[in-house]
Structures are given as C-alpha cells and as structure tokens.
Chain A
Amino acid sequence: MKVSYYPGCSLHATGKEYDQSMRAVSRALDIELKEVDDWCCCGASSAHNTNFDLSIALPARNLIAAEKDAMDVMVPCAACYNRFKTAEHHLKADKDLKAKIEGVVGAKYQGGIAIRNPIDILYNDIGIDTLAAKVVKPLTGLKPVSYYGCLLLRPPEICEFENYENPFMMDKIMAAMGTEVKNWSYKTDCCGGSLAISKTAIVVDMCDNLMNAAREAGANCVVTACPLCMANLDMRPSEGKKLPVFYFTELISLAMDLPGSKDTFKSHIFDPQPLLKQLGLI
C-alpha cells in the first residue's frame, strides 16, 4: 500500500527514533511513504490552548497539502493525529468555519482522505498474522505494558480509536512480536503532556505513578506510540523509578531484525540497551 506521511516536528528531533523505526517497518511491510509536501507544524497544544482558529487552520493547511496526493495520510505522532482529526471534525461539521478557514489558508479543503495512525494501519490493514510471520527474532523475556496515553483516543467521537477505555491493538501487536505483554489499568492515563517544561514537578509525579504501576504489573519496559509520552516517560520519572521506554515500531523493527533496528536505542535518555543485552536481544 502507499500512504501520505506526515512526520511532524517531533519525529525530526526528539522523536527521531519513531521516524527511523516507522520508516524501516513500513519498508519491510511494503507500505510506501510519500512525505506531505512542505508541511508545517500542526499547532499542537499551544495553538488550541490559545487560539481556536489557528488550531484548525494549521492542520487544515497540512491536510490540503496531503490531499494533492489523494492517499490516506499516516500520522504517527499522537498529538499531530489528534489535531488533524479535530480539524477534520470541525471542518466537516461547521460550514461557516470551513469557509472561514479556507479563506485563512487560501485553498479549498475537500475532506476526501482518511487520517490514519500507524497502530490502526498495522493492525487492520496489514494484520497480526502478516506481522507475526515476519518475526525472525521473537522478543522473549521482554515484558512491556502498552501505554496509549490521551491523544490517540480522546475524545472518542473524533479519534475513532477502538476500545478507547481499554484499547488492545498495540498489546496484540506486541504479543505477536514475542513479548509477554502485561495487563494494567493505566493504558489511557495522562503523562502530563505539554506541562513537562512549565510545571515540571507535576509531570514528574505523574510519570512516577505510571512507572510504579508498570512495575506492579510485572513489566520490565513500557511501549508507546506517542513522542510526547516518550519524552516525558523517558526523561521525567525520578531516579530509581525509570524503566526503559520504547516506541512500538522500534520493537517491531527489532523482532523483524530490520536494518538499523539496534541504532535507535542509543539515543534514548534512559538507556534500554542493558535490558536488551541481558535478555540476549541485542
């Protein structure tokens, strides 16, 4: 299959491991990625916190750019995904707003392409059986908890993610990679998001709670699909509380032994390599 690809700002910087592993996994699964032409930032929390029109116009500009390629657009970053879906929702529901935003962007929005996150594409379009068949190095000994966070799931009418209070797609994908996925009740809790920099102590507390809960569940690592969750969980928990955190695509890449699959672990702030070495996975 071929899709448009919107990496967003994080995947070019703090979340580069997600971009690298996403591209590797896509290649291995014959998903051709066409990067959206000359994209700009989606506006993230800062736009919707301060200016509604701006928070719709920025994703609209990117959606209109993606529409030129007439393919579904894959948006790996949960925050960008949420902003794209929110813009789509408002543009389709409110004709006056649509006209206003088209005036701001200077182009027409058709609304003809689907906004997809990679968990959905891998689970529903590629399928667990195909994923499992490509595993050459099962990740035996790795015991992750799946952490979905907020932005992929909520609000459910907009995000259209399965089972928004107890999602399972990432759990199933991780199990297919040979990991022993642990169940926990913090799959959809918040990591503290954009307050990490301006209200750090609160976010440290939230991340500590998540790490405690992961340990109680018997996990030895956490798996995420969001660069903001990754940044907070990788950097913010107190010393002694931290567990290795992976993008789900990094672990798929490792299990499929794809080129470069070991490279992305080096740039994590909390080094996951000792755990992977101990388990004989690298």
Chain B
Amino acid sequence: METFLEEVNKKIHGVPLQACYHCRKCTAGCPMTKHMEYNPNKVIKMIQNGQRDKVLGSSTIWICLSCETCITRCPNKVDIARMMDVLRQMAIETGVGAHEKNVLKFHEAFLAGMKRGGRINEPFMMVEYKLKSGDLFSDAMLGLDMFMKGKLSLLSPRTKDMKSVKNIFEKTKHS
C-alpha cells in the first residue's frame, strides 16, 4: 500500500518532499503562519511521518493563501504551494472535508457561479455563498456601497457557448 508521503508526492508530480532539508525558509516567509495550526515546514514533517488524518483535517491547508512565497524561496524547489493544493483536494476527495468550512463554501459558490454563466457574476456568487455559509449580514453595507457605485452588475455578460464550459466541469469531476 502507498504511504501518505508517496501518495502526496505522486500528486505533486514534481520535486519529492524528501528533498526538504527543513531549513524552514518556507515558514519564515509565509505570511499566514501566525494563523495556522501547523506551519508549512511542520506539515512536510507530518506528511513524512504519515500523519494523514491530522494533516488533511487541519485548518492550515485552508488558511494557506497560495501566495507562493514558499516555493519561490525554497532552496530545493519543493513545491509547497502545490502540496497545499494537493492536500486540499485530497481532503475533499476522501470525504474528510474542510476544517475551515467557509473557505471551501466560498470556493463552491464561486465554481457554481462559473458553471452557471461561464463567468463570475459577483452579486449572485455572494448570495450563494451567504446562503451556504449562513453568514448573512457581514459586508451588507459594503455590498450596498459597491452596488451604488456600479461595481456589482446584475446583468453581466455570460459565456455564450455554455455547453463547452459545462463539458469541462463534467469531464474533470472527481469520480
């Protein structure tokens, strides 16, 4: 059976995590460490130790912003940003779900909007997110201000060939 480390490496499809010599440069440059349960270097160690449930169930992987500072500065070119993408996708695919529920709900609302019109219509996307998350009232005044300033258009143009967009969603759906 594949170890957790092997599985993650295969999905990263690049420099294997064993190349990390734990200099912690990724973590020194990461803008989110203070909000993370485990810092990026610790996540690599946990993967090497096979701590699958803890890693996939952590808030860290959802707090990562994909700012890519880690991969930019890693002396061994370990793609930690891609690793975080892989871990999020594994958490979704294996049914672990997202420790930071609203982060995933935002992504789901965003993708649902895209599937509907091919392009993002921000007011509809926000309504969908608010209904999913139950976070109904935050940013209400901001939303109104944006609407008054014409930044939120209810009738933004859509992609015409929606069949091709829906096809992409269908064919890339997780089995």
Chain A interface residues toward B at CB < 8 A: 9-10, 12-14, 16, 38-41, 43-54, 57-58, 61, 94, 103-106, 150, 153-156, 164-165, 189-190, 192-195, 197-200, 202, 206, 235, 266-269
Contact = CB atoms under 8 A, between A and B. Distances in A.
Contacts of A267: 149-151
B127 to A, nearest CB: 12
How many residues of B sit at the interface, in one of the four size bands? 35 or more
B153 A198 contact: no
Given A13-B153, A53-B172, A190-B31, A199 B122 contact: no
Given A40-B119, A52-B89, A198-B103, A150 B69 contact: yes
Contacts of B151: 13-14, 16, 267, 269
Nearest to B84: A49
Nearest to A267: B149
Contacts of A52: 11, 85-86, 89
B100 A199 contact: yes
A14 B135 CA distance: 21
Contact of B66 (A12, A49, A235, A269): A49
Interface string B54-93: 0000000001011111011000000101000110110010
Contacts, number: 161
B111 interface: yes
B63 A41 contact: no
A202 B85 contact: no
Contacts of A44: 110, 120
Contacts of B161: 38
A12 B152 CA distance: 9
A39 B145 contact: no
A198 B100 CA distance: 9
B153 to A, nearest CB: 6
Contact of B114 (A13, A43, A105): A43
A50 B107 contact: yes
Contact of A54 (B68, B86, B159, B172): B172
A41 B119 contact: yes
Interface centre among A13, A192, A235 (most CB of B within 10 A): A13
